[in-house]
């Protein structure tokens, strides 16, 4: 019985020593100085998968540790580093040039962003502002019942938003007697001068005077959306003609539009052979009621026109037994495409 008691006391003392030894070891490691540790050797075969680094390592001094050795084969998959503080680490001198990304090669992408893919049968695309287009606008094609004549005014153009060639003609054609046609036609270069104004310059021919001329003009939109045009014609005989016009579109709804317009004609000198006097010669006015249809490309109209001689032209017309004033009902159509 005594031997049994002594054995039990020895076993209990041994167990107590074994239990306290880990705590003593941990206490000693917390105060260890690692500044003199040399880890420059080959640690590639070390397995850290079972290392538990979740404890408090804040008091450990690693400043003197040499970790310049080859650690490429070290296995850190099992290391728990959640408690480590990286706030004091300096990444400014780290060389990351070998990582994925970096500088692209010089020929990584073609300058036109096509990546070598051709444009196909239609060729390289163009901006709409650089593409030459064409258009035709017939502003007036109507019949004057009292004068028994057809009035016309049409313009055709080809070019871009910055440069165009314009062909324009206006006049009247008699439908009785000799069926005479009086027209003033011009071929001009057109170019924008500002946001609301465009300039024209070219040559013209007047069938009424049977004379050619050099033409220059300005066309645009005046304040309150008044369409305005001014053209000067210098004839080969030295005569200077000035045409002024203004037009306004008073829209009643999406289709019905009332269009009043006025035009003035002046000359620089007398030409009695052609019924021309110096100064203002004639004023033409008209009011139309139009109905726009087919996407506003076709607009039939009815209206009233009035013409009167001005200045010395009134007296000359009386001497030649011609009417000084005239008015007429009109009907016609305007369209563009």
Whole-model pTM over 0.75: no
Give the span between the Cα atoms of 329 and 81, in whole angstroms. Answer: 99
Note the pLDDT tens digit of each residue in 67-107: 545 554 555 555 555 555 555 555 555 555 555 566 766 66
Structural domains for the chain: 136-336 (2.40.160.40)
- Read off the pLDDT of each residue in 323-331 and give the average, rounded to a whole number: 94
242 burial class (0-12, 13-18, 19+ CB within 10 angstroms)? middle
Asked if residue 182 has pLDDT above 90, the reply is yes
Instruction: Compute the distance between CA of residue 28 and CA of residue 16 in angstroms, rounded to an integer.
Output: 19
6 — phi, psi (to 5°)?
-65, -40
Output the CA–CA distances (angstroms, integers) from residue 149 to 97, 155, 180, 274, 328, in the order listed: 86, 20, 10, 20, 10
Could you report the per-residue pLDDT of 17-72, keeping only the tens digit for each? 555 555 545 445 545 554 545 554 455 455 545 455 544 554 555 555 555 455 54
Residue 16: in which H helix or E strand, if any? helix 2-30
Identify the H or E element spanning 3. Answer: helix 2-30
pLDDT tens sequence across 111-147: 666 676 777 777 777 676 678 899 999 999 999 998 8
More confident call, 310 vs 65: 310
Q: What is the per-residue pLDDT across 203-239, written as a single tens digit (0 to 9) for each?
A: 999 999 899 999 999 999 999 999 999 999 999 999 9
Which has the higher per-residue pLDDT, 234 or 108? 234
């Amino acid at each position: 019985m005594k031997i049994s008691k002594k054995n039990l006391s020895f076993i209990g003392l041994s167990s107590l020593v074994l239990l306290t030894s880990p705590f003593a070891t941990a206490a000693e490691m917390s105060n260890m100085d690692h500044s003199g540790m040399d880890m420059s050797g080959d640690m590639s075969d070390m397995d850290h998968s079972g290392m538990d680094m979740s404890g408090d390592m804040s008091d450990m001094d690693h400043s003197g540790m040499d970790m310049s050795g080859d650690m490429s084969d070290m296995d850190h998959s099992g290391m728990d580093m959640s408690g480590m503080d990286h706030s004091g680490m300096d990444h400014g001198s780290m060389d990351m040039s070998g990582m994925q990304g970096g500088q692209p090669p010089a020929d990584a992408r073609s300058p036109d962003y096509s990546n070598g893919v051709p444009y196909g049968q239609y060729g390289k695309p163009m901006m709409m502002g650089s593409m030459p287009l064409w258009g035709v606008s017939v502003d007036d094609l109507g019949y004057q019942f009292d004068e028994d004549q057809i009035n016309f005014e049409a313009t055709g153009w080809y070019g871009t938003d910055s440069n165009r060639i314009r062909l324009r003609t206006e006049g009247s054609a008699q439908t009785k007697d000799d069926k005479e046609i009086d027209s003033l036609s011009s071929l001009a270069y057109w170019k924008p001068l500002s946001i609301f104004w465009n300039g024209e310059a070219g040559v013209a021919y007047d069938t009424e005077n049977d004379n050619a001329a050099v033409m220059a003009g300005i066309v645009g939109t005046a304040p309150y959306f008044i369409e305005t045009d001014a053209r000067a014609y210098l004839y080969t005989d030295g005569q200077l003609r000035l045409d002024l016009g203004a037009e306004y579109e008073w829209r009643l709804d999406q289709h019905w539009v009332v269009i009043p317009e006025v035009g003035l004609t002046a000359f620089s000198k007398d030409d009695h052979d052609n019924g021309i006097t110096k100064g203002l010669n004639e004023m033409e006015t008209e009011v139309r009621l139009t109905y726009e249809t087919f996407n506003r490309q076709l607009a039939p109209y009815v209206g009233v026109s009035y013409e009167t001689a001005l200045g010395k032209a009134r007296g000359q017309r009386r001497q030649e037994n011609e009417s000084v004033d005239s008015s007429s009902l009109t009907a016609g159509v305007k369209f563009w495409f």
